[in-house]
Amino acid sequence: MHSLSASPAQSLPPSKLSQARSFLFVPGNRPERFAKALDSGADAVIIDLEDAVPLDAKDAARTALAQAWPEFDADQRARLLVRVNPAGTPWHEADLAALGGLPGLGALMLPKAENAQQVEHAAQACSVPVLPLIESAEGVGQMESIARAPGVLRLGLGHIDLQADLRIVCGPDEAELAPVRLAMVVASRRAGLPAPVDGVTTATTDAQVLAQDAQRSRRFGFGAKLCIHPAQVSGVHQALAPTEAECAWAERVLAAEAQAHGGAFSVDGKMVDPPVLLLARQMLQTPRASLA
């Protein structure tokens, strides 16, 4: 993982959130939903102080979070992120100050991240890892430097806001955003970060659309997806996991390698070389959907 040098966050142990597959949003002004979100099966829960909270309820949401914090145990706190309001808004610095008083917080989610300085400032202010959301043309343009900023946990894609900022009208397959998704995966890999987090699926009751979206995330190299409803969690885990057929193939590859004793070999009529062996090992190391 990318070093957190020059930041107070550098002394933190590796976050469990680095391998989380599902990130479930819950409104920060609905504290009665916090425990339900944590019990949903999601790997991580995002308490949202930004878009889910009306402008006149920002202060109340921050207070509700602080009051609820003592109710969370250490494991729950490690699974929690808080999405603050963006840099430059009237609530940003107050959000950062409040998060500094939440011991054990897993990470901070920084929406509309547009430069490395914003990320580093948030990491230093709260002494927690930061998950920047790329949601604007400027964010895309600065993605490489953002990925390398001290304190970054992994990158996330806010593709709804990005479409609006770029004035893109996407089709159902979102092919128009393919260059951005690939660039995010490349930036993450170059910075030594875990696989990035893909955006939400707004169709909360359509399992087929969710599966298609999450399968696209996996094909592009994303390791996780944002969720806006608890019903989406299991579908995301299923789609991001290797299939039974893929796992069986990977097991055949590794079994054939053991029999080959270092020589060349093939599996299912196809040559196996070092990149194929690496792919097989990675597949078997990926969590299965049954473990969700």
* Cα distances (angstroms) measured from residue 159 to each of 114, 255, 286: 14, 41, 25
pLDDT band, residue 253 (cuts 50/70/90):
confident
| In the predicted structure, residue 14 carries a pLDDT above the cut 70 | no
| In the predicted structure, residue 290 carries a pLDDT above the cut 60 | no
For residue 282, what is the DSSP state?
H
pLDDT at 264: 73
pLDDT digits (tens, 9 = 90+) for 168-217: 999 999 999 999 999 999 999 999 999 999 999 999 999 999 999 999 99
Torsions phi, psi for 235 (to 5 deg): -65, -40
Residue 197 β-bridge partners: 156, 224
The first and second tokens of residue 56, run together, are 């006149």
Angle between helices 92-99 and 116-126 (to 10 degrees): 40
Nearest by Cα to 98 from 28, 180, 155, 10: 28
| In the predicted structure, residue 262 carries a pLDDT above the cut 90 | no
Separation CA 236–CA 211 (nearest Å)? 7
pLDDT band, residue 265 (cuts 50/70/90):
confident
- Residues 214, 241: contact at Cβ < 8 Å? no
270-272 and 265-267 as β-strands: parallel, antiparallel, unpaired? Answer: antiparallel
Separation CA 48–CA 46 (nearest Å)? 6
pTM: 0.86
Work out the percent of the chain whose per-residue pLDDT is above 70: 92
Coil, strand, or helix at residue 159? helix
The first and second tokens of residue 35, run together, are 């425990």
Q: How many CA atoms lie within 13 A of 32 on its CB side?
A: 0
Between 262 and 271, the more confident residue is: 271
Between 103 and 256, the more confident residue is: 103
* Cα distances (angstroms) measured from residue 43 to each of 4, 105, 141, 233, 250: 23, 14, 30, 9, 25
pLDDT digits (tens, 9 = 90+) for 73-122: 999 999 999 999 999 999 999 999 999 999 999 999 999 999 999 999 99
H or E element, residue 63: helix 58-68
For residue 72, what is the DSSP state?
S
pLDDT at 143: 98
- Residues 23, 59: contact at Cβ < 8 Å? no
Separation CA 112–CA 136 (nearest Å)? 7
Give the mean pLDDT of 140-147. 98
Q: Which residues fall within 8 angstroms of residue 18, CB to CB, at 6 or more apart? A: 1, 153, 154, 194
